[in-house]
Amino acid sequence: MSRKQRVIEEARRILGTFETAADAIGAVARAAAPEFDGLESLTAPMPGPRGGGGLSELPSMGGGAPDQQRDVLAGLEAMKKIEKPGDISDADLSDQDQQGLEAIILLAGRPAILIQEGDFLEPPKLWADLKQSREQIKSAISRVGRVEVSNNPNFEWLGTGWLAGKDVILTNRHVAIEFSQNKNDGTWTFRAPMGASVNLHAELNSEEPLTFKVTAIIGIHDTHDLAALRVEQVSGPNRLPDPLPVARQAPATLKGRKVYVVGYPAWDGRRNDPEPMKRIFADIYNVKRLQPGEISGDAVPAFEIFHDCSTLGGNSGSPVIDLETHQVIGLHFGGRFLEKNHAVPLWTLMNDDLIKRAAINFN
């Protein structure tokens, strides 16, 4: 399937109709500029392919770039082309249409919401139900940190980790392996002279880190992209919060289930198109974000599940959290925008030797 066809499918699935897309984008615009009141003009025809009409005064939404406004305008026009069922060929959708639909999907349908002072900023209208769970989501946010490394010649930080046990952080194998080495007896230790820590803050404009030292490498999984790290329980006047609850069984319905990821998306131009990244992340990377989406399926159920949250490379190790129960159901380990993201289904590992040694907080 071509990228344009994937964009069409995702726009139909996530946004549905022109009216839904217009309403959602209007809400995003109002959040950026409360004085904006242009929703009625969203249904007005555009005089040209690059904008104009009632939406020419659409405020910037996150990036402030004129290209973003142009793309949103084009995307709304493209929604009119695709909202009716039926086949649409690549030739029916211009490159500008595609870019516009991607911009709307990202801004309104699969946002990456900035976090400040432990709370998330205003979500798009399509994700207004996040506000109903604000306290539970804030609780999850406080238990997710950035995995930072010392004395590494290439990196200052490596990915995301989260409290999954009393003093245990789960992250990805490909994160932990950067500062770890396997001893002859099969156990793991630090690769000298490196060390690691977990910073539970690292938010936009945050000046005070909340850092807990990694004291041991409990283990790195042979099969799954998963690692368990021991962290100190006290750092200065601060103690670790209680761990996140991890689901001990699969949700009754998996595909289509609403979830959210918390993590630290980083610039990831090697695997993702730079333009969509700029549209959603506004060139703000390496700080904590809330990224909602849905479970989009599974492969071998005991090995991985798929989700469509807007993640980037620094999200490696993020928890995938069920929006209904606020239990962790997966450990994110990779993906590509508009294709699929991958996560380890943690309920399948309750009897795994490493997970049992780490005493993960299954509920």
Structure confidence at residue 145 as a pLDDT band (50, 70, 90):
very high
**Residue 72 pLDDT grade (very low, low, confident, very high; cuts 50, 70, 90):** confident
Q: Which helix (H) or strand (E) holds 115?
A: strand 113-116
Residue 224 token pair:
């799954």
Query: Residues 104-132: what's their mean pLDDT?
Result: 90
Whether 125 is in a domain gets the answer no
Q: How many structural domains comprise the chain?
A: 2
Question: Has residue 202 been placed in a domain?
Answer: yes
Model pLDDT for residues 311-328, shown as the tens digit of each residue: 888 999 999 999 999 999
Q: What is the pLDDT at residue 313?
A: 83
Pull the structure tokens for residue 161: 């980790």
More confident residue, 191 or 67: 191
At residue 55, the pLDDT reads 39
Helix axes 66-82, 95-104, angle to 10 degrees: 100
Asked whether residue 160 falls in the same domain as residue 92, the answer is: no
Residues 90 and 188 in one domain: no
Tell me if 67 is assigned to some domain: yes
The secondary structure of 198-220 as a DSSP string is: EES---TT--S--EEEEEEEEEE
Phi and psi torsions of 201, nearest 5°: -105, -100
Residue 221 maps to which CATH number? 2.40.10.10
Give the per-residue pLDDT at 177.
Answer: 96
CA 177 – CA 341 distance, rounded (Å): 21
Residue range(s) defining the domain that contains residue 226:
145-239
- Three-state secondary structure call for residue 221: coil
Kindly report which listed range (80-89, 114-123, 273-282) carries the lowest average pLDDT score.
273-282
pLDDT at 343: 96
Examine residue 279 and state whether it is found in any structural domain, yes or no. no
Domain identity same for 161 and 100: no
pLDDT, position 269: 47
Return d(Cα 170, Cα 78) in angstroms, integer.
Answer: 42
Indicate the pTM of the whole model: 0.86
Length of the chain: 363
Distance of CA 65 to the CA centre of its chain: 23
Nearest to 289, CA basis, from 150, 88, 144, 148:
144
Residue 118 lies in a domain: no
